[in-house]
Amino acid sequence: MGFNLACYFSLFAVIVLVLVPFVGAAAGWHVIFGIVIPYLAGFIFLAGLIYRIVKWARTPVPYRIPTTCGQNRSLPWIRRSLRDKLENPENTIHVIGRMALEVLFFRSLFRNLRTELRPWREYPEGGRLLYWSTKWLWIGAIAFHYSFLVVLSRHLKFFTEPVPFFVPFVESVDSFFQIYVPAVYMSGIVLLAALIYLLVRRIADPKLHYLSLAADYFPLFLILGIGISGVLMRYFFKVDIVAVKQLAVALVTFHPTVPEGIGVIFYIHLFLVSTLLAYFPSSKLVHMAGIFFSMTRNMAGNNRAIRHINPWEYPVRVFSYMDQENMFRKQMKAAGIPLEKDTEE
Amino acid sequence: MADEGNKVVDALRETGFFKPKKMYDGGKVIVGIIILFALVAFPFLYNVGKAAKAPEPEIDTPAIKKLSKAERVCVEPRPYMKVNHMKLLTDWRDQVVRQAKRDYVGFTKKTYTMSLQNTCLECHSNYDNFCNRCHTYSGITPHCWTCHVNKPKEWAAGKLKEEK
């Protein structure tokens, strides 16, 4: 347990990011924080993601990487279950199945194992090596990602006029318990709880703490800041929602205007979101696009059925036995080693 | 025999196999980029050609018109009500239901009865042109109206008719 420099640095970076719009909005720079920065951030987000995707797509992948967690396609009498087909796919359809499991259900996190040396009564001087399945990270990740998706889809109501049909539906499910006015959204609570778990996990576990960098802490603090500012805005420090929607609709219709009288908490929220968008393509968060380029997931394990040629220019310099004999014929003959071809005879 | 591998490589080179590719699996990648673009552009495309006007709730009901200019105020100042009316209503509900307190002293020191249907809707009797304007625009469905009637007078008149 403890904080390291990376953790402190990320925390203070986010605090500064909160203070910037706090000061800026108080100074009246609403056009900068309400229009210029969001547009800039949106542009960096989209252009940056496309740049990363094209860069990845141009990188050759030399090998198919077969995964050994499922029976590969082999002789016809070796049975393969659906599980084997999904774990060790042989064609595109199965690959799509494996990718869907990965993208929608985080299959590789589900597989997470923990190795632990436990004291053992029958062998007191040593211990017993245990491998056990840990699902905590998987649960945290699922809770975080899906609640974030729900929160994101709910926000469409600010950007669309009229609001598309699925947004009220998502909202009504999300505020099912009808606690308080405005109704408390479950996704908000789950999002913050999952983020706090993911953060505490990095701080409390010494091994993870040792592994974690500023690039791991910063997104957590940043999204936590976004979540907290959003919750504060909805339930505590109210802002004029109609004005907020006017601003959002003005942004997406390219008629940017800043309505008067939106509280500073809104500009903090918007600035943190803009930071997240601009930071996205250059951070570990690009796994949103990168997951589709994971070559242990997106290639069929058909090495034995189809010949794959390394797409790199790779002229192999071959030094055959005959090359060796040609080079050392004299010496070999002197040593009495039998030759394939004796030129002196 | 050793040259066979090189022959394959040479043959492949002739077919252009080793030419630096623009993108591997370009078709799939471009489909992915289009999906990404469509997701990001959804709110932009959805609003194309729509001039979204800010809603203006009407405050010209008969009850309000009867009041003199000085009296034309809500229980709290207008900017406060615009942003915090839902909080106020929740507080009212809690005080009435849990503490049986029904009197609320407004910012003008006038005392009001804490009641959505009898006090709020007395002046704001135009639900469709007042409450609903902003709520529809912002995509808000408050659950006030699962218990309360939003047009009490019309509702009562309807009930009377049914009984007759």
What value of ipTM does the predicted structure carry? 0.82
**In chain B, residues 78-97 whose CB comes closer than 8 Å to chain A:** 79, 82-84, 86-87, 89-90
Instruction: Label the pairing between strands B103-105 and B111-113.
Output: antiparallel
Give the bridge partners for A129, in sequence order: A117
**CB neighbours of residue B94 within 10 Å:** 12
pLDDT in tens, A219-232: 999 999 999 999 99
Query: What is the percentage of chain A residues whose pLDDT exceeds 70?
Result: 97
pLDDT score at A1: 46
> What distance in Å separates residue B110's CA from the closest CA in chain A?
25
* Contacts with B, A 81-140, CB within 8 Å: none
Please name the member of B9, B44, B139 whose beta carbon is closest to the beta carbon of A157: B139
Using CA atoms, how far apart are residues A176 and A190, in angstroms rounded to an integer? 14
pLDDT tens readout for residues B108-161: 899 999 999 889 998 898 888 899 988 988 888 888 888 898 888 888 888 888
Q: Which residues contact residue A223 at a Cβ distance below 8 angstroms, ignoring those fewer than 6 apart?
A: A148, A195, A276
Taking all residues of chain B, what is their mean pLDDT, rounded to a whole number? 86
Minimal Cβ distance to B55: which of A242, A259, A323: A242
pLDDT over 70 at A38, yes or no: yes
Residue of B1, B35, B140 for testing the chain A interface, max A β-carbons within 10 Å: B140
Dihedral of alpha carbons A129, A133, A138, A140, sign = negative
Contact B32 A53 (CB under 8 A): yes
Testing the interface with B: which of A61, A239, A253, A265 to mutate, by most B Cβ within 10 A? A253
Residue A307 forms contact with B (CB below 8 Å) = no
Separation between Cα atoms, residue B45 and residue A252, nearest integer Å: 8
* pLDDT above 90: residue B8: no
Q: Which of residues 17-36 of B touch A (CB under 8 A)?
A: 17-18, 21-26, 29, 32-33, 36
CB B75 within 8 A of CB B84: no
Residue A131, SS3? Answer: strand
Can you tell me the distance from the alpha carbon of B31 to that of A292, in angstroms, rounded to the nearest whole number?
12
Across the interface, do A42 and B23 touch by the CB < 8 Å criterion?
Answer: no
pLDDT tens digits, A107-134: 999 988 888 888 888 888 888 888 988 8
Query: What is the per-residue pLDDT across A129-155, written as a single tens digit (0 to 9) for each?
Result: 889 888 999 999 999 999 999 999 999
- Could you say which of 1.20.950.20, 3.40.50.2020, 2.130.10.30, 1.10.10.10 is the CATH number of the domain covering A5-314? 1.20.950.20
- Does pLDDT of B52 surpass 70? no
CB of A286 within 8 Å of any CB in chain B?
no
**Nearest residue to A229 (alpha-carbon basis) of A180, A190, A268, A197:** A268
The better pLDDT of the pair B3, A23 is held by: A23
pLDDT digit string (tens) for B31-40?
Answer: 999 999 999 9
Cβ–Cβ contact B1 with A under 8 A: yes
User: Any chain B CB within 8 A of the CB of A324?
Assistant: no
B145–A contact, CB cutoff 8 A:
no
Residues 95-124 of B with CB under 8 A from A: none
Which residue's structure tokens are 């979101």?
A273
Whether residue B116 contacts residue B89, with contact meaning beta carbons closer than 8 Å, is answered with yes
A290 close to B (CB below 8 A): no
CA-based nearest residue to A146, from A182, A181, A114, A187: A187
Contact: A318, B5; criterion CB under 8 Å: yes
By the CB < 8 Å criterion, does B12 face chain A? yes
Interface residue of A59, A252, A309, A321 to substitute, partner B, most B CBs within 10 Å: A252
Q: At A179, is the pLDDT very low, low, confident or very high (cuts 50, 70, 90)? A: confident
Domain residue extents for chain A: 5-314, 318-345
Q: Nearest CB to A168: which of B22, B43, B139?
A: B139
Contact B139 A53 (CB under 8 A): no
Measure in Å the smallest separation between the Cα of A163 and chain B Cα atoms: 6
Number of C-beta neighbours around residue A5 at 10 A: 8
The one-letter code for the residue type at A153 is S
Taking residues A59-72, what's their average pLDDT?
81
What whole-number distance in Å separates Cα of residue A21 and Cα of residue A32? Answer: 10
Residue A202: CB atoms within 10 Å: 19
Tell me the average pLDDT across B72-96. Answer: 91
Query: Which of A63, A154, A236, A242 is most worth mutating to test chain B (most B CB atoms within 10 A of its CB)?
Result: A242
Residue A62 vs residue B140, higher pLDDT: B140
Q: Which of the pair, A270 or A65, is modelled with greater confidence?
A: A270
Extents of the domains making up chain B? 3-46, 62-154
Rounded to whole angstroms, the Cα distance separating A325 from A341 reads 8
Across the A:B interface, residue pairs with CB atoms under 8 Å apart total 126
Contact between B83 and A157 using a beta-carbon 8 Å cutoff: no
| A252: chain B residues, CB-CB within 8 Å | 43-44, 46-47
Query: Distance between CA A233 and CA A130 in Å, rounded?
Result: 47
Bigger pLDDT: A34 vs A313:
A34
Out of A183, A242, A252, closest to residue B43 by CB: A252
C-alpha to C-alpha distance for B3 and A67, rounded to whole angstroms: 33
Distance in Å, alpha carbon of B163 to nearest chain A alpha carbon: 34
pLDDT value at position B21? 65
